[in-house]
Structure 1
């Protein structure tokens, strides 16, 4: 089992989860975080730290979030590891209640 960052993180990119990860399995993109499934040790510490409930076990993903298994695996190979919490994007709070935001996911590999 691994943990997966899902759609609610898009645009928010809060990094509370990064602070508690003992193995540095988070990777940072322009407006989203992902978990490297090869590095995740299934400790679940990050789950309760996420203020937007975006992190779920791969075998308990909310309906419609299954595609994020592939997205996390793929983007974790492209994006840099993040090991320290950072300030969220300036408009993060505006994204919290937005749904159906996969179209807004920025996959650009340039630094955030």
Structure 2
């Protein structure tokens, strides 16, 4: 199950296996084995490297919560922001603003 989630998250962010390997410093063969559930117990160091490239926490990476549609929407938003010249730190500010707006709207109802 972890392998499938890793693959979906990687693909949602538009990364090939080679790109993830290069950016994370984790061997492509190791990543491939993880995605095929042949390597089921990666170290925290490896999870942290992969999660950093995917811009998530290691906890999200190993989470059983499989909201893939939300992940796809997140990846699409990140690609749009990059195309518009918005940097990752700015994107986090926008996310916080959106969460605040959602929270405020829920209080009004």
**Shorter chain as normaliser: what TM range?**
0.3 to 0.5
Structure with greater helix percent: 2
TM-score normalised per structure 1: 0.34
Structure with the largest fraction of strand: 1
Higher-RCO chain (CA-CA 8 Å, sequence separation at least 6) = 1
Q: Which has the larger radius of gyration?
A: 2
